[in-house]
Amino acid sequence: MGEPPVTRISRTPRAPLTAATVLLAVGVLGGVLTGCGTGHRASAAASAPSDGLPHTAVRVSLGVCGQGWTRPHAGQQVFDVTNASDGPTEVDIVDPKSGAVYGEIEGLAPNTTRTLDVTLGGGSYAFKCLPDDADAMTGPTVHVPGHAAAGPAAAAVSEQDLIPPTLAYQKWIGGRMSQLAQDVGTLKDDIDGGDLGPARSDWLTAHLVYERMGAAYDTFGDADGKINGTTAGLVKGLDDPDFTGFHRIEYGLWHGQSADQLKGPAAQLVSDVNALKASWPQARMDPLQMGLRAHEILENAVQFELTGRTDYGSHSNLATARANLDGTRTVLGYIRPLLTSRDPGLPALDKSLDRLQSTLDGFDHDGSWTPLNSLSRDQREQLDSAAGGAVEQLADVAAIFDVRRTS
């Protein structure tokens, strides 16, 4: 057998995006850049700022947080923050009463200066320093005069905040396991009976159930590769014994393999799904990953489904992307109570998801989905625009739910 041009999806989580990284990439919290400038040694001569903004030099060290902020004023401005201690530290500018974060610098190295660009309105602010291997420290409260509006801020999210929605989502996944087990059982019955026409339809039904469970893939561990892996990285490709699960059966159903050739893979899929279902009550999802997963589900859909890299013959990538969107909305539903008060861009996110859903639904013709390679140039551009906009908005969610130290 030949190799199809696909790449194996890695469900292994990437190193979590820091809030600073995501903020720089997409301008979350209204364009506040958090420590994105290249650090320079504090001893270097400072050149005149070329950004046209007022700069204030502040110093942090052991026992000192935000020294030098003596002439507060409203508006967009830059703090040149120097770490004079002998260890790295995180530096935030916060509302001292609510703890809401207006900007942050992560990993400020010793004897290094980095910039913090914020927009401050009338009100009270303070620098908060969180040195490695030491307690957090909040500097003196500074009062900015006037009534100008401040830039956006995000109240810190704690692990305790995320535990209830994570447990609720995990319970939802458990309920979907029963549906998944039932649907792969139906697929196996089709193949055992030699009914490959119904098997193709039932394959898609079962696969889409799995694809809606995207925030749990990391918790599935090795089971995800068995159930939904591809041939990439497998020495023998399509003939490799480790090529199992939905895509192995997909290849056979759409490449002329007989029912006898597919009975073994179908039985293996049922066995792997049932094993996952049995182990799920003992599984524990990581609450710290919920916001990141909400972003990654559609990010993976753009990278793998909307490029056709996981198509083994069914040409159902657009249906899979639509299921991934359902999965994204499910995760957002569980964390929405925390997100509502923290993300001023939530209405725009909902609008972008609605746009993507409408675009994808236009390719569904009573359960028969348009193949990717049949899209016109205009259709492709509309789809890419809608998907890209949604992923960009979801990056804000990942940043807001990046759990920060508070003590």
| Domain shared by 297 and 324, yes or no | yes
User: In this structure, are residues 332 and 215 in contact, taking their beta carbons and an 8 Å threshold?
Assistant: no
CATH code of the domain in which 250 resides: 1.20.1420.20
How far from the centroid of its chain's Cα atoms is residue 155's Cα? Answer: 19
- In a domain, residue 308? The reply is yes
Report yes or no on whether pTM surpasses 0.75.
Answer: yes
| Domain shared by 135 and 164, yes or no | no
Q: Tens of pLDDT along 241-261?
A: 999 999 999 999 999 999 999
| Domain shared by 228 and 120, yes or no | no
Distance CA 369, CA 81 (A): 54
| Domain shared by 282 and 360, yes or no | yes
- In a domain, residue 354? The reply is yes
Confidence at residue 40, expressed as pLDDT on a 0 to 100 scale: 54
Distance CA 152, CA 150 (A): 6
- Residue spans of beta strands (DSSP E) within 254-405: 364-365, 368-369
| Domain shared by 274 and 380, yes or no | yes
Confidence at residue 36, expressed as pLDDT on a 0 to 100 scale: 40
| Domain shared by 251 and 285, yes or no | yes
Q: Tens of pLDDT along 373-382?
A: 999 999 999 9
Is residue 30's pLDDT more than 50?
no
| Domain shared by 337 and 383, yes or no | yes
Residue 62's domain comprises 33-144
- In a domain, residue 350? The reply is yes
- In a domain, residue 352? The reply is yes
Q: What angle do CA 290, 184, 207 make, to 5 degrees?
A: 50
Q: How confident is the model at residue 8 (pLDDT cuts 50, 70, 90)?
A: very low
Q: Which of 92, 110, 144 is the last residue of a domain?
A: 144
Q: What value does the mean pLDDT take over residues 154-181?
A: 94
Residue 154: exposure state from Cβ atoms within 10 A (0-12, 13-18, ≥19): buried
Looking at the 3D structure of the chain, how many domains does it have?
2
| Domain shared by 126 and 71, yes or no | yes
| Domain shared by 61 and 178, yes or no | no
Confidence at residue 148, expressed as pLDDT on a 0 to 100 scale: 86
Is residue 195's pLDDT more than 70?
yes
Q: Tens of pLDDT along 95-136?
A: 998 888 888 898 999 999 999 999 999 999 999 999 988 889
Q: Tens of pLDDT along 328-358?
A: 999 999 999 999 988 888 999 999 999 999 9
Distance CA 231, CA 6 (A): 8
CATH code of the domain in which 94 resides: 2.60.40
- In a domain, residue 154? The reply is no
Confidence at residue 55, expressed as pLDDT on a 0 to 100 scale: 96
Is residue 6's pLDDT more than 90?
no
- In a domain, residue 4? The reply is no
Q: Which of 144, 169, 200 is the last residue of a domain?
A: 144
Confidence at residue 98, expressed as pLDDT on a 0 to 100 scale: 84
Residue 27: exposure state from Cβ atoms within 10 A (0-12, 13-18, ≥19): middle
| Domain shared by 304 and 194, yes or no | yes
- In a domain, residue 2? The reply is no
Distance CA 282, CA 276 (A): 10
Confidence at residue 44, expressed as pLDDT on a 0 to 100 scale: 38
Q: Over pLDDT 90: what percentage of the chain?
A: 76
- In a domain, residue 24? The reply is no
| Domain shared by 140 and 212, yes or no | no
| Domain shared by 86 and 196, yes or no | no
Is residue 32's pLDDT more than 90?
no
